[in-house]
Structure 1
Amino acid sequence: MGTEFYESEHNALREVVRDFVAREVAPHLSSWDERRSIDRAVWTAAGKVGLLGLRTPEQYGGGGTSDYRFRCVVAEELARVGAASLASGLAINEDIVSSYLMALGTAEQKERWLPGMASGEIVTSIAMSEPGMGSDLRAIATTARREGDSWVLNGAKTFITNGFACDVVLVAARTGERDGRPTFSLILLPTDTPGFARGHKLKKLGLHAQDTAELFFDDARVPLGNLVGEEGRGFHHLTDRLPLERLSIGWRGLAAAEAAIEWTLAYTKQRKAFGKRVIDFQNTRFRLAELVTETEVTRGYLEAQVHRYNDGKLDATTAAKVKWWATELQNRVVDACLQLHGGYGYMEEYPISRAFADGRVQTIVGGTTEIMKEIIGRSLAN
């Protein structure tokens, strides 16, 4: 990992995170996977040691730093033990919903939700994806209509991370029409709202501990004051915040690739075949040389983009480059590392096996690789 990228305060946080992960996360990974859910206690435990709300203002109980490098440290330490499900769930709170609230929320919304998010007592989700929608945000069919002093929501969402654990959902819904095209808004919906229901806990290829749900809204009524940002500008709010979401996904991809290489180096140094260590075969050394070089080059690029984000200069096109490259790299590296583990790489007791399944969604979630390339391609055509 880049020594010049981090400073003393980041390294101090790393010690806290590493201790927390060893105590509160690593011992529970298998049981979480088996139960297909993460204990809520780990959220409050993370809050107590200051690992949540790092970028939330201090007045709301957060760390008060805008430096995204602190979030990078957390992602790396979770990746070291293969805790991709928890990392993904935390990212919804930390990199997505809190960002919307801090940038667009009212004073009342911030007071109500941010302190609990920073303490781990409130888990959030964001509901964009819908059955049959794919990556096309403009195809959102869930509606929210004004009725008196309320928004009344109807529709369905799917593939919602934290869908079962969440206490509040940030819902993207149609609220009108402009020039013959639907307009969207973002609305906060507490999960104890009458008319809200959770469907099946979805079974997935990987990320088994991460609860992913279907959500349903049947005349679910919330106050007009639960609107986040401007009415009818939800699509713009979503696209404005996507660069951070994609940087977050890309960084988790890099961290997962680095962890896979670390595990594989350790394995190939102690595993023997035909009377010598696996790493002593030229093919092993060549393959590892390729993986290490690609990953180090990627780290250099992503570190530069984190600095750009900190400076308020990360644009949508660059974030698309980060997301597609780092997640595709993650899948290539993990696949190659599993191969170097041989038959044991296919066994769930080895973290590389779980990483292989957990990482596959990375090139899909947050916009597919193909969508990322389309965004980049359009910028070149202009």
Structure 2
Amino acid sequence: MATHQLFIDLGMSGTKACLTDGNRCYGYACPPKVADLPPSELEVLRHQGQEYGGGLGAGAYLQWNNQAYALADDAEGRPNKSTATLRKSTLAHLRSLGAVGEMAHTHHLETLHLDIGIALPFEEYLSEAEELTQRLQETGHFLYRGQAYDLQIDSVKVLPEAAGLVLWRKQQHLAQQQQASRQNYVVLMIGHRDLSFLVFRQGKPPTGKPSDSEKLGYVAFLEAVAQTLCEPENPYLVQALLRQQEAVQFPDQPGKVFPLAQRRQEAEAFYWEQVRHHLSEHFAALDLTEYEVLIGGGTASTLLRPHLTDYLATLPGATPNWLPDLAQEMAYRLQEVTSAIDQVRFADCYGGVKWLATRAHARTRALQEVRA
């Protein structure tokens, strides 16, 4: 039986992972970057480790299948694969192995016997889940930070992004002795790149329209702000917006100051109109008279929260739920995740790993009963 459960969220703002042994729960986050590591540089890193210390052991370096990769911060400055434009499933295997390796390194896991869960955008979940599952199950041996690991996987569960919110909510219903299986849920998650709209009729996983994922996350807002100014994800622009600055400056344009207040206001109005139109089409396609709307994602909980609050209040039969109980539980269980916004970003991941742990506990209990 697996000794740990690990759930991985391959978000574009960063890779997030939650690990549990059934008692304690740990969180980990890193940038989503992946870069090829050529053999010549791999040899230099090996030499550095032997002669001076550090080397491969000092960075997020993954070796698998006779290839080497630099991940997260260590991919910075190298020609890295464009995670912002690629399908998440394209690099899912490498980013997942990086999360497995980092958790093993941080928590001194000599044996990697895991149940693994991974969240993908809805369309990729439908088309890529089987291939990703097979690749993970066939991984076997890999090296991370110069340390060799043998990965043994009991089960792989690929889920649509935002499903972790429903899985957590259903467990809460069961704990309260309520009929979770009869509840209808609509999950609305707006993150860095994607807007996910998932319909769980009577708690059952979505299989088709109107469920989908669309590139209407925070990047769409950045694109509206950045028009004629800079690249959408220019770090100086992003930082200025997050800090609510009235203006922004760029090092390649010294002495120039670009006002942001009006630009931000107009971009937010334009972005919200895009989101509102998208949601109106999807909610109009629902055939449910009563349902609970579970809201998640950093963009939904910050930039769009006032708009969403007003909009959802107009929908007949909808009961919005911003999941404050989930945030409270995470504050207690995930001690590495301290800020309110990070708790929002980890919510899908935490809901997924709690579900994996519950399944593992049920399997163990059933096995014990059979043996008894």
**Greater strand share, 1 or 2?**
2
Fold shared, TM-score > 0.5 on shorter chain: no
Q: TM-score, normalised by structure 2?
A: 0.26
**Greater helix share, 1 or 2?**
1
Q: TM-score, normalised by structure 1?
A: 0.25
